[in-house]
Structure 1
Amino acid sequence: MTDVEKLAEKQKMALWHMRDSYVDLRERYGFTTSMYFLLESLIELDGRHYERYGKFNEKERIKIMRAFTEWAFEQEETE
């Protein structure tokens, strides 16, 4: 079972939004900068994903981040 398959539906929705944002960022910036911008949007009070991501507890957040980072690395490997 993959990390994504282990996520609850609300966690998957947050992950899909993060993926969409990352794709938009990646078209303009390098890998590392795109990752930093996305992570910042999760923790900044006015960040794009702050409210949605902030509703999860710490363990749920880590699961979302793990699934996202694995996906992002896979995208880089296929390019």
Structure 2
Amino acid sequence: MTTHQINSRLQEILTNIGISLTALTDQANFSRDLGLDSLDVTDLLLQIETSFGIRIPDEDWGKLQTVGQMKDYLANEVR
């Protein structure tokens, strides 16, 4: 999967849960900047895992605080 495909799919997931395209910068923090609460974050995690066919361990998810960090993680995990 290319970086462009990863970015497009992640963008689609985030806009489907109500995040505006203009808010989706690499520096945007899921909780602080995008306003996701713990239930939203759990839903996001499940959607990402399903969409990309991967499992993100809890210890990794805690390190993924921004859109850019998630993109980098997916680029390394999705083949």
More helix by share: 1
TM-score range relative to shorter protein? 0.3 to 0.5
TM-score, scaled relative to structure 2 = 0.38
Q: Who wins on radius of gyration, i.e. which is larger?
A: 1
Structure having greater relative contact order (Cα 8 Å, sep ≥ 6): 2
